[in-house]
Amino acid sequence: MNKEVFKKHRKAILNQMEDNTVLMVVSRQMGGTTVEDKCNVNRNYYYVSGVIEFQNIVLLYKNKEQEKEMIFINPYDEYRAKWFGAPKPKEEVLELSGIEDIRYLSTFESVLASYLNECKGIYLDIDRQGLDEDDNASVSYSKKIASKYPFVQILDAQKLFRNARMVKEEEEIEEMKKAISITRKGIEAILSNIGEMYEYQLESYFDQAIKYHGATGYAFTTIAASGVNGTCLHYSKNDSLAKNGDLILFDLGASCNMYCADISRTFPISGKFSERQKLFYNIVLGAQKKVLATARPGLTTRDLNNVVIEYYAEELKKIGLIKDASEVSKYYYHGVSHHIGLEVHDLSVIEPLKAGEIISNEPGLYIKEEGIGIRIEDDILITENGAICLSQEILKEVDDIEKFIEEHRK
């Protein structure tokens, strides 16, 4: 992506910083002799730098007169180059990030000390997303700094990133569209080979196709859940035999330059939906269409979820699956939307939606006693007056799915 995007991102963070403070964000520390995984780069660091490297640190400083941006990188080292490749030279870091003040990491501690002697606070990236998550390298390093400078106020960087990362720039939306379009290729590869086989074998068609079409990674671990497995929301063993007569629920996504797609589709292994499967499938699809038609700035993701629950209450009563609206939660037990971006569950705060945010639209129905699990998930962009579906091109009408399989199955 163009460096102008990362400049805008830094500005969005600087604008929120209090006077006379610094912000420090670490990419990730080198982990032993393991092969480095670019997907583990701290997304907040990437958001302000656009540079995929390990150990680097971005420092932003703000007071009434000025704002400063610095990035600290590794110098060339022959031994490390043999193991991990050479770090990006200064010219490339400048080209990617637009940060002009580029220094070596060996000077970081003294530069930080000089700021902290005058600053009233430092924003550290020390919040974890989940309570059960271990400290990542960024968190550990930040904590070390916090204990070394006990007189400096520790401020919450995560809050700044949450606010800034929710609304996407045009270039970020383009990146996500690419990830979605590659995901579509992967889904079509599955459909062209669908039939009785192990779930992981069907998954492998996706893997091959997205790599071939230029995905830079996976947005998350693929779910390929046939039959009753589809009623477990985070099933990812993918090791059962998918049988004719069963549906299979795929929840998957490619990533493109760190930006994620998050798509779910549910297909019949035999190529044809049974009448019963079609009935439930079209109810899920109906809920999804309602959410797309309702989503707009000012509503929250909770409001959207209520649209699904109300719709299901009516439809499931009509077909006699439930008697009372309170029973919907037996068959639908997750939310319909979350934000998507550099992470599949992107940083966000619960507040009314704004134009430029990208969220999932993923109603599901899980009827365990009938071995039916269905989820249909698209990625939608909130606009000034509503929302548009970014994954519109990925097949989801019953007739289109059956026709595609008939025409393309090898």
Residues near Mn ion, by CB under 5 A: 251, 262, 360, 377
Q: Quick one: 168 exposed, middle or buried, by C-beta within 10 A (0-12, 13-18, 19+)?
A: buried
Nearer to ligand GLY, 199 or 251 (CB): 251
Residues 6+ apart with CB under 8 A from 329: none
Indicate which single residue of 160, 210, 321, 344 sits in contact with ligand GLY (rule: CB under 6 A): 344
CA distance 242 to 176: 31
Over the window 373 to 392, marking each residue x when it contacts ligand GLY by CB under 6 A and - when it does not, the resulting string is: ----x---------------
Under rule CB under 6 A, residue 48 binds ligand GLY = no
Indicate which single residue of 172, 246, 262, 378 sits in contact with ligand GLY (rule: CB under 6 A): 262
Indicate which single residue of 362, 378, 379, 402 sits in contact with ligand GLY (rule: CB under 6 A): 362
Under rule CB under 6 A, residue 343 binds ligand GLY = no
Nearest to 374 by CA among 258, 279, 244, 243: 279
Q: In this structure, what are the phi and psi dihedrals at residue 146, rounded to the nearest 5 degrees? A: -60, -40
CA distance 86 to 46: 19
Please, what is the minimum distance in Å from the beta carbon of residue 389 to ligand GLY? 15
Nearer to ligand GLY, 98 or 363 (CB): 363
Nearest to 377 by CA among 396, 357, 403: 396
Please, what is the minimum distance in Å from the beta carbon of residue 240 to Mn ion? 19
Over the window 67 to 106, marking each residue x when it contacts ligand GLY by CB under 6 A and - when it does not, the resulting string is: ----------------------------------------
Under rule CB under 6 A, residue 315 binds ligand GLY = no
Contacted by 220, from Mn ion, ligand GLY, none: CB < 5 to 8 Å by type: ligand GLY
**Sheet bearing 101-104, strands edge to edge:** 101-104, 67-73, 57-62, 21-26, 121-124, 153-156
Which residues 192-221 are close enough to bind ligand GLY by CB under 6 A?
Answer: 220
Nearer to ligand GLY, 177 or 375 (CB): 375
Indicate which single residue of 125, 251, 378, 402 sits in contact with ligand GLY (rule: CB under 6 A): 251
Nearer to ligand GLY, 103 or 338 (CB): 338
Q: Yes or no: say if 252 and 185 are a contact pair by the CB < 8 Å rule.
A: no
Q: Yes or no: say if 288 and 376 are a contact pair by the CB < 8 Å rule.
A: yes
Q: Yes or no: say if 311 and 291 are a contact pair by the CB < 8 Å rule.
A: no
Residue with tokens 């809920």: 287
Contacted by 204, from ligand GLY, Mn ion, none: CB < 5 to 8 Å by type: none
Residue with tokens 């190529």: 271
Checking phi first, is residue 248 left (phi over 0); if not, alpha (psi -120 to 50) or beta? beta
Contact residues for ligand GLY (CB under 6 A)?
A: 220, 251, 262, 338, 344, 360, 362, 377
